[in-house]
Structure 1
Amino acid sequence: MKSSILFLIYGISVVNALVLQSGKRHVTKELFVANGGQFGYWSAPEYCPPGTFASGFSMKIEADQFSGDDTALNSIKLTCTDMSGHAQLGYQVTSGEGPFGSWSSVENCPPSTYLIDFSLQVEGQQGGKDDTSANYIKFNCRDYDGNNHWTELNHPPGRGIWGSFGAFSDRCDAHSAICGLATKVESSQGNGDDTALNDVKFYCCDDGVHGPVVG
C-alpha cells in the first residue's frame, strides 16, 4: 500500500514537472503564411511538453449564422505525441481562443509522423459586409527524420465556407517538427463585426540537443 502511494505521488510530481516545463523548447524555425487577417492581437506562444511534437489538431469553428454575425475559425489546438508515437497523457495545447463555436474532432497524422507545415483558408476584408477572416486550416505530416513520407492532413469536409486557401508555409527541417503555436485573435466586438481568429504562427522544434531554449 505504501509503495502504491509513493508511486502515485511520484507520478503526479512527474506530470506536474512536465506541464511546468512545457514552454521550454529548442525552436529551430517559425512558420507563417502571407494571407492572415489583420484584426486582433497575438497571444503568447504555447508549446508541447519537451520530448513531444504535434501529431494532430482540432479546430474551434462557429457554424454559419445565416443572417447573424459569422466568425468561422476561433481557435486551433495541437495534440502532442512523444517520439514513440504515444499521446503525452492526452496533452493538447492552444494559444489565444475566440469565444464562439465548438471544437471539431481531432485529426491525427499517420503513426510516427508529425505536422511540419500548414496552409490557412482566409476570407479577405468585406468592406461594410460581414468579415470572418480565418476559416480553416490544413497541414502536411512527415516523419521526424525528414524522409519522404508525406501525408496531407485535413478535417472533413476539407474547407470552410468563406475565403480560399493560401500557399503552404515553409516546412520544418529534417530532425524537427511542429511543437507549438501562437494565434492572432480579435476579441468580442459586442454589437460590432466579430472575426475571432485571424492568423496563426507555428514553431518547429528539434529534440533539444541544439538551439536556444525559449519560453
Structure 2
Amino acid sequence: MLNGEEETKIITVKNGGKKGEWTQTEHCPQGTKARGFSLKVESQAFLSDDTALNGIILHCTRDGMDEDSVVSSGQGRWGANTGTNWCTDGYLVAFSLRVETSSYTFDETAANNIRFKCNNGKYLEGKGMSWGNYSQWSPECEEGICGIQTKIEKEQGMFGDDTALNDVRFYCC
C-alpha cells in the first residue's frame, strides 16, 4: 500500500537501452485496458542516422466496444505510425522488446520492435525493424496492461547519433 492506495504492478524486461530519460506515464481511461497496439517506426535510412522504434501506442477499449482511446507516453520525432495489431477477444498481458545493444558504432538504434502476449494465448509482433534481439518475456499482468512509460533519448543534433526509444515499462490494471 502506498498512501492508502493499492500499489500498481509494473512489468519490465532487462535488455532496454541505457540512453535517454523516462518520460511521462500515460494510462488507459478508467474502465478500459490495452487490447491492441501500434508503433511509430523510422524505416532504414541507409545513408543517414537510423532510429528504428520511436514510439509505442496502446489502444485501450472496454469489453465489447469498438471505440478505442490511445495512449503513448513519450516518442521520438522520426518515423510513421504502423497499423494496429489487436488481441482478438482478449487484451495485452506481457511483452518482449527487441533491442540492438550498444556497439559503440556511429549509428546505434536501441529499441527496434516489440511483441505482446494476449490473455487468450495469441502472440502479436509489431511492424518494427529487425536489428538486435528480443528479450525474455516480461512477467504477466493478470488483469491486463493499462499504462505505459517510455525512455527516450533527446535529439542529438545534426552530427549526433540518435537512438530515440530505448526502453519501456508497462503498468498493470
Q: Fold-level match, TM-score > 0.5?
A: yes
Structure 2 residue aligned with 1:212: none
Do structure 1's residue 155 and structure 2's residue 122 form an aligned pair? no
CA distance in 2, matches of 1:115, 1:151: 9
CA deviation map 1:66-102 (0-9, x unaligned)? 12100000000000011x2214x43100100100000
Structure 2 residue aligned with 1:138: 115
Aligned length in residues: 168
CA deviation map 1:123-181 (0-9, x unaligned)? 01121331100000000001xxxxxx31101135xx623101010111112xx110010
Do structure 1's residue 200 and structure 2's residue 171 form an aligned pair? no
What's the RMSD between the two structures over aligned residues? 1.5
One-letter code aligned to 2:161: D
Structure 2 residue aligned with 1:177: 144
State the TM-score, normalizing by the size of structure 1: 0.75
State the structure with more CA Rg: 1
Do structure 1's residue 90 and structure 2's residue 68 form an aligned pair? yes
CA distance in 1, matches of 2:82, 2:61: 19
CA distance in 2, matches of 1:77, 1:54: 10
Match of 1:128 among 102, 105, 115: 105
State the TM-score, normalizing by the size of structure 2: 0.92
More helix by share: 1
Do structure 1's residue 107 and structure 2's residue 85 form an aligned pair? yes
Deviation at 1:26, TM superposition (A): 6.5
CA distance in 1, matches of 2:37, 2:6: 21
Match of 1:43 among 23, 32, 49: 23
Distance 1:98 1:26, change over 3 A: farther
Match of 1:190 among 146, 150, 157: 157
Q: Secondary structure at the match of 1:116?
A: strand
CA deviation map 1:31-78 (0-9, x unaligned)? 000000001100121000000000000000001001210000000000
Q: Following superposition, which runs of at least 4 residues in structure 1 exceed 4 angstroms of deviation?
A: none
Flag structure 1 segments of 5+ consecutive residues without an equivalent. Answer: 1-24, 143-148, 206-215
